[in-house]
Amino acid sequence: MSDTVYLYSAILLLALCVVLCRTGYLVFGHYFPLPPKLRSALRYAPLAALVAIIVPDVLPWTVQTGPQFDLRFLAVGVSVLVFLVTRNALLVILSGMLALWSLRGLLLLF
Protein backbone atom coordinates (compact mmCIF):
# COMPACT_ATOMS: atom_id res chain seq x y z
CA MET A 1 0.00 0.00 0.00
CA SER A 2 1.46 3.36 -0.96
CA ASP A 3 1.85 6.15 1.56
CA THR A 4 -0.84 8.33 0.01
CA VAL A 5 -3.40 5.51 -0.02
CA TYR A 6 -2.56 4.70 3.61
CA LEU A 7 -2.89 8.31 4.79
CA TYR A 8 -6.15 8.94 2.97
CA SER A 9 -7.60 5.63 4.20
CA ALA A 10 -6.71 6.65 7.76
CA ILE A 11 -8.31 10.06 7.26
CA LEU A 12 -11.51 8.56 5.82
CA LEU A 13 -11.70 6.02 8.67
CA LEU A 14 -11.32 8.82 11.23
CA ALA A 15 -14.06 10.79 9.50
CA LEU A 16 -16.22 7.65 9.72
CA CYS A 17 -15.51 7.44 13.48
CA VAL A 18 -16.65 11.02 13.90
CA VAL A 19 -19.81 10.50 11.84
CA LEU A 20 -20.71 7.26 13.66
CA CYS A 21 -20.22 8.71 17.15
CA ARG A 22 -21.71 12.16 16.57
CA THR A 23 -24.69 11.17 14.44
CA GLY A 24 -25.32 7.57 15.55
CA TYR A 25 -27.87 8.35 18.22
CA LEU A 26 -29.40 11.26 16.31
CA VAL A 27 -30.12 9.01 13.32
CA PHE A 28 -30.97 5.69 15.04
CA GLY A 29 -32.02 6.93 18.50
CA HIS A 30 -35.66 5.98 17.86
CA TYR A 31 -34.69 2.35 18.36
CA PHE A 32 -32.90 2.97 21.67
CA PRO A 33 -35.24 4.97 23.94
CA LEU A 34 -33.66 6.09 27.22
CA PRO A 35 -35.43 6.16 30.60
CA PRO A 36 -36.65 9.76 31.14
CA LYS A 37 -34.57 10.15 34.32
CA LEU A 38 -31.36 9.24 32.56
CA ARG A 39 -32.17 11.47 29.62
CA SER A 40 -32.80 14.39 31.95
CA ALA A 41 -29.47 13.70 33.68
CA LEU A 42 -27.61 14.11 30.38
CA ARG A 43 -27.92 17.85 31.12
CA TYR A 44 -24.82 17.39 33.31
CA ALA A 45 -22.71 16.11 30.40
CA PRO A 46 -21.66 19.42 28.77
CA LEU A 47 -20.11 21.08 31.81
CA ALA A 48 -18.52 17.82 32.98
CA ALA A 49 -16.82 17.54 29.58
CA LEU A 50 -15.70 21.15 29.68
CA VAL A 51 -14.16 20.97 33.14
CA ALA A 52 -12.46 17.72 32.13
CA ILE A 53 -10.76 19.53 29.26
CA ILE A 54 -9.69 22.42 31.53
CA VAL A 55 -8.32 20.48 34.54
CA PRO A 56 -5.40 18.58 32.91
CA ASP A 57 -4.13 21.84 31.41
CA VAL A 58 -4.12 23.63 34.75
CA LEU A 59 -3.19 20.81 37.17
CA PRO A 60 -0.97 18.45 35.17
CA TRP A 61 0.72 15.33 36.46
CA THR A 62 2.57 12.45 34.84
CA VAL A 63 3.46 8.97 36.00
CA GLN A 64 7.17 9.90 35.97
CA THR A 65 7.03 13.22 37.80
CA GLY A 66 3.89 13.05 39.92
CA PRO A 67 1.71 16.16 40.46
CA GLN A 68 3.23 19.34 39.09
CA PHE A 69 2.54 22.84 40.25
CA ASP A 70 1.75 25.17 37.37
CA LEU A 71 1.30 28.94 37.59
CA ARG A 72 -1.78 28.44 35.40
CA PHE A 73 -3.60 27.19 38.49
CA LEU A 74 -3.11 30.55 40.24
CA ALA A 75 -4.05 32.40 37.05
CA VAL A 76 -7.32 30.44 36.87
CA GLY A 77 -7.97 31.49 40.48
CA VAL A 78 -7.60 35.13 39.43
CA SER A 79 -9.94 34.55 36.49
CA VAL A 80 -12.63 33.01 38.69
CA LEU A 81 -12.46 36.01 41.05
CA VAL A 82 -12.73 38.39 38.10
CA PHE A 83 -15.75 36.44 36.87
CA LEU A 84 -17.47 36.62 40.27
CA VAL A 85 -17.05 40.41 40.29
CA THR A 86 -17.63 41.31 36.62
CA ARG A 87 -19.47 38.32 35.01
CA ASN A 88 -17.68 39.26 31.80
CA ALA A 89 -16.25 36.52 29.53
CA LEU A 90 -13.66 38.73 27.84
CA LEU A 91 -12.32 39.97 31.18
CA VAL A 92 -12.06 36.36 32.39
CA ILE A 93 -9.74 35.54 29.46
CA LEU A 94 -7.71 38.77 29.64
CA SER A 95 -7.23 38.70 33.43
CA GLY A 96 -6.09 35.06 33.32
CA MET A 97 -3.50 35.77 30.62
CA LEU A 98 -2.26 38.90 32.40
CA ALA A 99 -2.04 36.99 35.69
CA LEU A 100 0.00 34.20 34.07
CA TRP A 101 2.40 36.62 32.36
CA SER A 102 2.90 38.76 35.47
CA LEU A 103 3.39 35.74 37.76
CA ARG A 104 6.04 34.45 35.35
CA GLY A 105 7.67 37.90 35.28
CA LEU A 106 7.74 37.96 39.08
CA LEU A 107 9.37 34.53 39.20
CA LEU A 108 12.07 35.74 36.82
CA LEU A 109 12.80 38.72 39.06
CA PHE A 110 13.35 36.69 42.21
Which one of residues 35, 39, 103, 108 is an interface residue with other proteins (CB under 8 A)? 39
Q: Tell me if 81 contacts other proteins by CB under 8 A.
A: no
Question: Are 103 and 74 spatial neighbours (Cβ–Cβ below 8 Å)?
Answer: yes
8 versus 106: smaller Cβ distance to other proteins:
8
DSSP 23-58: HHHHHHGGGSPPPHHHHHHGGGHHHHHHHHHHHHHH
What does the angle CA 72 – CA 64 – CA 77 come to, to the nearest 5 degrees? 15
Q: Tell me if 21 contacts other proteins by CB under 8 A.
A: yes
Binding site for other proteins (CB under 8 A): 4, 6-27, 29-30, 34, 37-63, 72, 75-76, 79-80, 83, 87, 89-90, 92-93, 96-97, 100-101
